[in-house]
Amino acid sequence: MRVSSRPAHFLPVFGFVLLAVAAPVRADFVTLDLTLVPATVQYNTVDLTAQIVAYSIPASDDATSTISGNVQAQIAYTALPAAYTATVTDLEFTGGQVTFSDVMFYLGFGILGSVNVDGKGLVGYPDTPLPPGAVTGIQFPANQHVFVLNNGTFKIEGSGGVGGLLDPNPMDFNLASSPLSGTTGGDGTLLVSSPTIVGGLATYDVTLEMPVAFNEIVYTNGTTQASVVASGTLRAEGQFTHALPEPATLVLILAGAAALRLGRRR
């Protein structure tokens, strides 16, 4: 009978190591608080269009609004030992406060009059109606999320015959009581950098880009209809940290891998 030369305590330790190595990778969850970057032509500038149809005649006017504030979200990710590169799998927007600069529109109907639309104090946030949304690589489907405008007002005031069609005139459309929301096609991106490791923490930089879009009716009475259309790209940045395993745990994992290799040779 062959007598094993392995120490008596080897088998329990080997079993523990084997469990550590064979255990499935656990996803971690973290809450992000991302700050919108300063507005540029490409990012955080939203093109807005006010459209009104009166007497079956359409009129529209365009304006731009810059956005600022923050976006909150929760992500699920894995960060495997060695490089600790973070791979994001799930994304859920949970709130934040995105503030729009005020906008004004003038819609002329010639001899029939005109309509002024003023948007003031507009505030919104991204949301995920059916969480979580999927992330593949750095991309996520934008249509799994919506952008909600839930504060501020659109004041609509008409003159001439067009003004006579509004009831009341002027009127305030209050977003706090009647929020607007919308989504769009295409993809957003969630880019997580390689980690900067200091001590027992890995720090990751996060860059979010996502479409901001909606096309919603804010007033209709059967003869007159007013709607607001928006399109732009939100960009926000932030960080999160990931606690690294204790050195002893890493040694155990490496020892387990070495033991498995040794066992295969025998």
Whether 258 maps to a domain, the answer reads no
Whether 190 maps to a domain, the answer reads yes
pLDDT band at 259 (very low <50, low <70, confident <90, very high): low
The C-alpha atoms of residue 143 and residue 45 are separated, in whole angstroms, by: 20
Whether 20 maps to a domain, the answer reads no
DSSP state of 6: S
Whether 260 maps to a domain, the answer reads no
Lowest mean per-residue pLDDT among 10-14, 54-58, 109-113, 224-228: 10-14
pLDDT band at 184 (very low <50, low <70, confident <90, very high): confident
Query: How many residues does this entry show for the chain?
Result: 266
- Check residue 83 and give its pLDDT: 92
- Check residue 261 and give its pLDDT: 53
Whether 31 maps to a domain, the answer reads yes
- Check residue 18 and give its pLDDT: 41
> Can you tell me the mean pLDDT for 183-190?
92
% of the chain beyond a pLDDT of 70: 83
Whether 57 maps to a domain, the answer reads yes
Q: What pTM value is reported for the model?
A: 0.83
Question: pLDDT tens digits, residue range 23-75?
Answer: 456 789 999 999 999 999 999 999 999 999 998 999 999 999 999 999 999 99
Which domain does 51 fall in, by range?
Answer: 27-245
Whether 22 maps to a domain, the answer reads no
> Can you tell me the mean pLDDT for 113-117?
96
Whether 10 maps to a domain, the answer reads no
DSSP state of 112: G
Please, what is the average pLDDT of the chain?
87
**Is the pLDDT assigned to residue 260 strictly greater than 80?**
no
Question: pLDDT tens digits, residue range 229-252?
Answer: 999 999 999 999 999 987 645 555
**Overall domain count for the chain:** 1
Q: Produce one character per residue of 2-22: b if its CB has 16 or more CB atoms within 10 Å, e if not.
A: eeeeeeeeeeeebeebeeeee
- Check residue 124 and give its pLDDT: 96
Q: Please report the beta strands in 10-145, taking only residues with DSSP state E, as ranges in sequence order.
A: 28-36, 45-54, 57-79, 86-100, 103-108, 114-127, 133-134, 139-141
Tokens read off for 245: 């395993």
**Is the pLDDT assigned to residue 144 strictly greater than 90?**
yes
- Check residue 266 and give its pLDDT: 59
